[in-house]
Amino acid sequence: MVERFEVTDDDYRDALDPTSRKRRKFTKDDAIYGMWADGDSDEDKPSFGGGGGGGKKNRGADYSAPLSFVSGGVKEGSEKGKNRVHDEDEVSFVSSPKTPKTEGSGKRGGGKAKTFAGLGMEMNKDFGKWEKNTKGIGLKLMGKMGFKPGQGLGKEGEGITKPIEVVVRKGKGAIGAYGSEKVRDPREVDVEQPSVQPARRAAVQQSKQWRKKDGADVPNYRFRTVEEVLEDKESKVAGGWDTSELSKVKVIDMTGKETRVLSGYHAMHTQRDRDDDDGPERIFDVAELRHNLDLLIDLSEARIVESNKKLEYEKNLAASLEDEQKVLTEDKERDDYHVGRLNVVFDMIDRLVANQDTMSLDDCLGIFNNLYDHHQEDYRSFEFDQLAAAIVSPIMARYLMHWDPLVDPTFAMREIIEWRRLLEPNQRSFEVARTTGNPFQNVLWTAWMPPVRQAVLRWSPRSFVDNDPILRLVKAWDHGMQDDILEQLVLPRLIAETEAWDPTVDPVPIHHWIHPWLEVQSFSSRLEVLYGTIRQKLSVALTQWKPIDPSARLMVEPWVDVFSPATLEQFLLRNILPKLHEVMERMVINPRSQILDPWNWTMEWSKLMPVSAMAALLEKHFFPKWLAVLDAWLARNPDMEEIPNWYSGWKGMIPEKLREHPSVQENLTKALIRMAGAIDDDDDEPLSPPTPAPLPPMPQQQQPPPPPPPLLPNPGVTLGYINSAPTFKDVVGRRAEELGAIFMPVVGKNYHGKQVFRFGSQNISIDRDVIFVQRGTNWVPIGLEELTRSSL
């Protein structure tokens, strides 16, 4: 018969379902001859009819006969059945030694492996037994092919040692109704080490202890101590991880058969539940029973952990109560000690209060000194200073009732200093001091301050120029009440006396009774409220003043170091400088009969006036007339030996500080140039300084009118200086001219309605003879000298 090779429907079905493909059975010839066995043919195929047996060839297929099956298995009494049963008894199925609930040989790690014939630990002892009763050439042929008795077939001895066995199907013979019908391969035996076999046999024996047997041995249980349970629970909970941080991380565990989503790394230490089909095979495995047992174990362990927590809590509570009892005992002992001390103190206070009306200040002081020295801790803790203040206030008021501070400013100073130690103890909390106040200050306000207040009301500052009693009182009583006395009593009296002071009629200058209070350092800044009134009254008095009267200078000089430099400069420029301009303008320069009184009156103010203002004064009213007289003198061909003496005399009367001013030096240089020119015109030798000699009088009518000051850039300013008294703006402009700085108005800019000028690199404004300079966005007052220095 020729086999066809086209693809059929059976081929497609076999490709889609390989398990349905029918395979050739492993025959006895295959087991004997191996690869040298004859190939199958149609005749060798078993017949489905009832005619043939297992090894016989088919003589012809009877397709008309009904379908029949060959019964599997081996009949009773057959030699093969006996051998097969004996072989099965030789196979060992010993489980690994594990706990009862996990006993059994495992598929993965249980030690079972497929062992081929000839390589196993035990061989079939009945192999080849049939050779005793039969004769054939099978064994001879096998020997020729390399078979050795006791070993497997094949070149390497890996062949089988038993023929294929047939298994009887269970039940009524329904195919696939009772699970797999695969025959157990006899080569699949348990490969175990000799040392493991006893343990496995013991495990198998222990795993069957759930059955009740007569005379059974006592089960060998493994017990866990409480410490082991607690340690295991702690390791599962903690796991050596910081759960506070790692619990926030989502972890996906894909190490098992199923993917697990865990709440953190700490959850990876929890035990994975085994699958029912995972792990070793078990001899006895009832899932429900194992679950109940595990649940009972878990509940028992949970009760152990909970009981341990309660025990720890009770231990901690007991330790805490012991500590609290110890603290309370110490507090009670300390309180008992304080109660005893307080009873002694209260007895002393009761006697003190009972005799308060008749007790003297010294007796009261002695009692509280005793309390403070011997019960200092209680004195501070229970604030006995408040009690002392309440008791001593009426006693001290009675003691100071007849005291006159104007007569004896230091009366009772010793007693009050001693009471200060008792009424101002250290280590007082801020809250107590804020709510209750200072006991010492309270006593002074209620007992000491009333007689002082009455004395200040009777006190007149102008009446006590020397050794003022109130000033002595303030300096002596530096005990915290000094500021209150100055602020509430002395300063109002000084303000009232200053308002009533009239510099034109008062014979005592105001600085005689104001300046002594500057010695009190904390009071000097508060006296500034008087300075404005003093300057205003002096300005009013100077309106009718003439430079011939030296009293104005004597009145102003004491305030030079008291007023600020800028304020003093503005005061002098407004009230003194115009008077000096009038004097110098009327001054006559006559070499024959010179009157120097106006000059002397003016130079007396040179120490107080700004140098620039005095230089502008000389340049406007003195040097023009002085140079004009010199020109007229030189024009008459005078004796050239007298003129240098006249020049040196005037130069020596100019103060040195004023003589160094650039404008003064410029005018003196002009005089020298004119004298030198006159000498050159006469073709004479240079003159040596002659001895001073009286000059002949010059007729008044021959003196030329004084020319205007030379080198004036602005004719309008020159006329203003000549025709009227200079204003303060003219003085500032002249000073800028001397420095070579710019002094011009800034177009479209003003400050408080006053024109803003550019003085050098700074913006200034002049308001009522006060210079204001711009500092950023603010305008601050400044003196002319300070403005000049900052503009250089």
Residue labelled with tokens 């030379």 = 710
Between the CA of residue 682 and those of 76, 547, 632, 633, what are the distances in Å?
182, 43, 16, 14
Q: What is the DSSP annotation of 685-720?
A: PPPPPPPP-PPPP--GGGSPPPPPPTT-S-HHHHHH
Q: Is the pLDDT of residue 90 over 50?
A: no
User: What is the pLDDT at residue 307?
Assistant: 92
Q: Tokens in use for 81?
A: 């059945």
Instruction: Provide the pLDDT for residue 24.
Output: 66
- H or E element: which one contains 763? strand 762-767
Q: Which two tokens stand for residue 625?
A: 């007339």
Q: For residues 315 and 319, give the distance between their C-alpha atoms in angstroms, rounded to a whole number.
A: 6
For residues 47 and 67, give the distance between their C-alpha atoms in angstroms, rounded to a whole number.
Answer: 10
317 residue type, one letter: L
- Give the integer Cα–Cα distance in Å for 294 and 298: 6
Q: Which of 562, 501, 565 is nearest to 536 (CA)?
A: 501
3-state helix, strand, coil in the chain (%, to 5): 50, 5, 45
Phi–psi pair at 456, nearest 5 degrees = -65, -35
- pLDDT grade for 120, boundaries at 50, 70 and 90: very low
pLDDT score recorded for residue 310: 93
CB 259 within 8 A of CB 253: yes
| pLDDT at residue number 332 | 93
Cα dihedral across residues 738, 742, 748, 750: positive or negative: negative
pLDDT, average across residues 19-29: 67
Provide the pLDDT for residue 165: 62
Q: How many whole angstroms separate alpha carbon 250 and alpha carbon 271? A: 18
Which tops the pLDDT comparison, 25 or 247?
25
Per-residue model confidence (pLDDT) at position 591: 86
Query: Which of 432, 418, 516 is closest to 467 using CA atoms?
Result: 516
256: DSSP letter: S
The pLDDT of residue 47 = 44
Of the candidates 388, 493, 492, 490, the one whose C-alpha atom is nearest the C-alpha of residue 447 is 388
pTM above 0.95, yes or no: no
User: What confidence category does residue 518 fall into, taking pLDDT thresholds of 50, 70 and 90?
Assistant: confident
Pairing, β 251-253 against β 260-262: antiparallel
Spatial distance between the Cα atoms of 369 and 363, rounded to a whole number of angstroms:
10
Are 597 and 547 in contact, with CB atoms under 8 Å apart?
A: no
Query: To the nearest whole percent, how much of the chain has pLDDT over 90?
Result: 13
What is d(CA 425, CA 438) in angstroms, rounded to the nearest whole number?
Answer: 10
Angle between helix 528-542 and 565-575 (nearest 10): 20
Q: CA 323, CA 317: separation in Å to the nearest integer?
A: 10
d(CA 779, CA 758): 14
Q: Residue range 410-426: average pLDDT?
A: 83
Question: Which residues contact residue 330 at a Cβ distance below 8 angstroms, ignoring those fewer than 6 apart?
Answer: none
Whole-number mean pLDDT of the chain?
Answer: 73
* pLDDT tier for residue 739 given thresholds of 50, 70 and 90: confident
Q: Span 195-200, mean pLDDT?
A: 54
Distance CA 30, CA 637 (A): 171
User: Hey, which residues does 252 pair with through a beta bridge?
Assistant: 261
Statement: residue 401 has pLDDT above 50: yes
pLDDT per residue as tens digits for the range 433-481: 455 578 888 888 888 889 998 988 888 888 766 778 888 888 887 766 7
Closest C-alpha to 556, from 587, 579, 522, 582: 579
- pLDDT, position 212: 56
For the segment 299-326, the average pLDDT, to the nearest whole number, is 92
pLDDT of amino acid 103: 39
What's the average model confidence in pLDDT over 30-49?
58
Check if the beta carbon of residue 352 is closer than 8 Å to that of residue 364. Answer: yes
What tokens appear for 494 in the block? 């000084």
Half-sphere exposure of 99 (CA within 13 A, CB side): 7
CB-CB contact of 723 with 621 (8 Å): no
What's the pLDDT at 617? Answer: 93
Confidence at residue 34, expressed as pLDDT on a 0 to 100 scale: 74
Angstrom distances, CA of residue 679 to CA of 634, 636, 666 = 9, 13, 20
What is the number of H-type helices and E-type strands within the chain?
33, 9
φ and ψ at residue 426, rounded to 5 degrees:
-80, 175
Name the nearest CA neighbour of 451 among 419, 388, 407. 407
Q: Which of 276-285, 426-435, 650-659, 769-778 has the lowest mean pLDDT?
A: 426-435
Q: What DSSP string describes 215-254? A: TPPPP------HHHHHHHHHHHHTTTS-HHHHTTS-EEE-
Q: Quick one: average pLDDT of 317-322?
A: 94
Q: Is 576 exposed, middle or buried (0-12, 13-18, 19+ CB in 10 A)?
A: buried
Is the Cβ–Cβ distance between 570 and 787 less than 8 Å? Answer: no
* More confident site: 661 or 480: 661
Q: Which of 623, 591, 617, 595 is nearest to 706 (CA)?
A: 623
pLDDT in tens, 325-370: 999 999 999 888 888 888 888 888 888 888 878 888 888 888 888 8
